[in-house]
Structure 1
């Protein structure tokens, strides 16, 4: 390390003991036949949709109980923690052993060999002696946050100006917490504005209007209130949630015949669009391919000996409501973030995988070159198909660590690693300017012991970490301000023709994508990943062009 003008890349890692008992799990074969993988393995199934909805019912119920005074009766029936298969195990404290850093770069195959060899040596030594959330929000801001949209009322940038969030600039990685807090604030405000609209309320303290809501509801037995809650929250989920359609959606076609334009909804039949028209008292079935419909296709008919041309083109002529679509699509992202955050805290791997499947069409809609799309597909491919049951459990539940041993206090393993790296960097800086590679490795080996000694000493002499306290904006206050701006916009009363200058023709659902292209891209990436070929770094795109 003689060259002082060179940047050196060190590889830091740790060893985490399994909390989930995998001794009886099968380790002889893959979970599924890799040769029978289809694109459907990477989007939510019907059962997974239901689990996602059940999770959202609790998460949205918590928001209603917190901010709407007349729904506080929900608090008594909402669980503090959403149960899952290994909730007891994931409440146990994680045992994390730090490994010494290595002057290796994991981006090179040769260095990876050295890293694995070092792991092997370290494990043998121990045996002898003992006898990925920021990324998704970056995409969200690229989709919904435009500094030119200050005049588009109800959009992110417009609302940011109204509550004076000067620390939100669209660069998520520079100020992650500020941007996350703003997304949650706006998401809560959008959702609460829908609640007010649905229940005919003019303020968050007004009496909600619904046939099932009685004035004495807070005095009812839990069984009765649970039934009422289930009915009400199911209505809300039905109105707000957009899931990935299991069947090909109908395509709206514009049909021109005999100087008359007709709007026709076609039906899919084995990749062909079919629709029926009654011409001269005859029912005629038309067949066109999606490609023909997109570019326009003329079909010649012979009626009573005369040629009758029929022009068929795909259309979106139903007038859109850009503001309604903008808010609806934002809420789909908001729901994913809510579910992700809660699933990680609970250490719920099932919900994490389901949420990743909801993310895959979203990232595809952003860009087919998105590295996050590739990572989601790779994780699902490995943990649900390629790996054995034993290794899958190790990977899935090794993605979380719990440093306190309390329920609902798990966090992502890579976040814990980032915290450890901060400690390592501080120790390395303490070596001075003439440090050697051997000295760096030695000090990082002792890092956990040094940290424990320092922590215990500080506790004994009552020395506490010095923090700079910054005044945090009140989410309740900001939501109140946002509600005053959103209510007059009548977002939830669809207004055909209402436009946003910077978000024209934005789609209602992030799952409204070119399905044929989606299937091809998914299977192309899967086939490459099956051969162990990662996405080339040069092709990975984080600043790709926006798709509406």
Structure 2
């Protein structure tokens, strides 16, 4: 599902013709030299995921700076400032809930934003008299502002789904799936996944008992390392198992009979355990198979700097990407 949701985000936010429009996904990809990012998510899922997360984080920072009236990353908030001292923890919690809720409503959900409402006329002041002028195209949307709202709305939902896979929580997961279902249903080629989510929700709320519902939901994930946040989707674990089976079959060479393949595939877990124990007892040095992850901080700072020139959350009538 994550791959399909990413494909939907690329469809809504990425356009090759926007390479010169600062603040768009296509432009920032070109400016940062992210050549591995591809419209086809099947060819570049990991590269797309890393870039989308950095792009979303930059927009989150820009929204926070706009909400608190900050001119740059090092300036101090000018509006919606917290008090110098908190009388108690309750006051602190109340202030955080109020402003975080306001920020989400204003920038993510765009509730009550005039920029999202079509306008058929514009008021002008001529010699002290207000004159209403009808617009030829019947609309005055701020496309740049709407693009920023869409980035935050889809990007935050994508980050929440990634967190859900690492640390499953049924109550939170069902809420996220309801919202994801609406987005997938709106895309014609992804509507079948919305039906699958609906089937899961019917099971969770209508058909199964509470015990069976929990078993079905948490059965969608596998904890691979025994830690709190080391879960992965069960279909991804199945991919790893198939990869191990293929590797085992490859080394059977001429002994690839149906009986031998069935016997070897059924004993993969034991073979791996024996191999690891043998390497440990014989002091075999196991080379690390992980590569260091290149920090994306510099790229995110570059995107934030670009967004400060565009000011995507300042409403301007009729503004759009060239």
Superposition TM-score tier, normalisation by shorter sequence: 0.7 to 0.9
Q: What displacement does 1:420 show?
A: 1.9
> Matches of 1:486 and 1:373 in 2, distance apart?
34
Query: Residues 452-480 of structure 1: CA distance to partner in whole angstroms, max 9, x if unpaired?
Result: 1122223331422443636x442221111
Q: 2:145 is matched with which residue?
A: 324
> Matches of 1:448 and 1:405 in 2, distance apart?
16
Q: 2:273 is matched with which residue?
A: 452
Q: What displacement does 1:137 show?
A: 0.6
TM-score where L is the length of structure 2: 0.84
Q: What displacement does 1:231 show?
A: 2.3
Give the number of aligned pairs: 304
Query: Residues 332-357 of structure 1: CA distance to partner in whole angstroms, max 9, x if unpaired?
Result: 11121122122222220221121111
Q: What displacement does 1:365 show?
A: 1.9
Residues 353, 243 of structure 1: alpha-carbon distance in 2 compared, 3 angstrom cutoff: farther
1:189 aligns with 2:11: no
Q: Of residues 383, 386, 395 in structure 1, which corresponds to 2:216?
A: 395
8 Å contact from structure 2 (residues 143, 320) kept in 1: yes
8 Å contact from structure 2 (residues 177, 197) kept in 1: yes
Query: Residues 359-389 of structure 1: CA distance to partner in whole angstroms, max 9, x if unpaired?
Result: 1221122216633222222222223223343
> Matches of 1:224 and 1:475 in 2, distance apart?
36
For structure 2, which runs of at least 5 residues remain unmatched after alignment? 123-135
> Matches of 1:253 and 1:210 in 2, distance apart?
29
1:108-123 matches, cutoff 5 A: none
For structure 1, which runs of at least 5 residues remain unmatched after alignment? 1-131, 246-250, 255-260, 263-314, 502-548
Residues 433, 176 of structure 1: alpha-carbon distance in 2 compared, 3 angstrom cutoff: farther
1:209 aligns with 2:78: yes
Q: Of residues 297, 309, 312 in structure 2, which corresponds to 1:488?
A: 309
Q: Of residues 280, 291, 298 in structure 2, which corresponds to 1:477?
A: 298
1:275-314 matches, cutoff 5 A: none
8 Å contact from structure 1 (residues 347, 400) kept in 2: yes
1:335 aligns with 2:204: no
Residues 146, 364 of structure 1: alpha-carbon distance in 2 compared, 3 angstrom cutoff: same
Q: What displacement does 1:173 show?
A: 2.2
Which structure has the highest strand share of the two?
1
1:22-41 matches, cutoff 5 A: none
Q: 1:199 is matched with which residue?
A: 68
For 2:61, what is the secondary structure of its paired residue? helix
Which structure has the highest helix share of the two?
2
1:212-291 matches, cutoff 5 A: 212-215=81-84, 222-242=89-109
Q: 1:370 is matched with which residue?
A: 191
Q: What displacement does 1:449 show?
A: 0.3
Residues 376, 244 of structure 1: alpha-carbon distance in 2 compared, 3 angstrom cutoff: farther
**How large is the RMSD of aligned CA atoms in angstroms?**
2.8
Q: What displacement does 1:426 show?
A: 0.9
For 1:207, what is the secondary structure of its paired residue? coil
For 2:12, what is the secondary structure of its paired residue? helix
TM-score where L is the length of structure 1: 0.51
8 Å contact from structure 2 (residues 59, 148) kept in 1: yes
8 Å contact from structure 1 (residues 162, 482) kept in 2: no
1:467 aligns with 2:305: no
Residues 149, 225 of structure 1: alpha-carbon distance in 2 compared, 3 angstrom cutoff: same
Residues 253, 492 of structure 1: alpha-carbon distance in 2 compared, 3 angstrom cutoff: closer
Q: Max radius of gyration: which structure?
A: 1
Residues 253, 475 of structure 1: alpha-carbon distance in 2 compared, 3 angstrom cutoff: closer
Residues 408, 330 of structure 1: alpha-carbon distance in 2 compared, 3 angstrom cutoff: same
Q: What displacement does 1:174 show?
A: 2.1
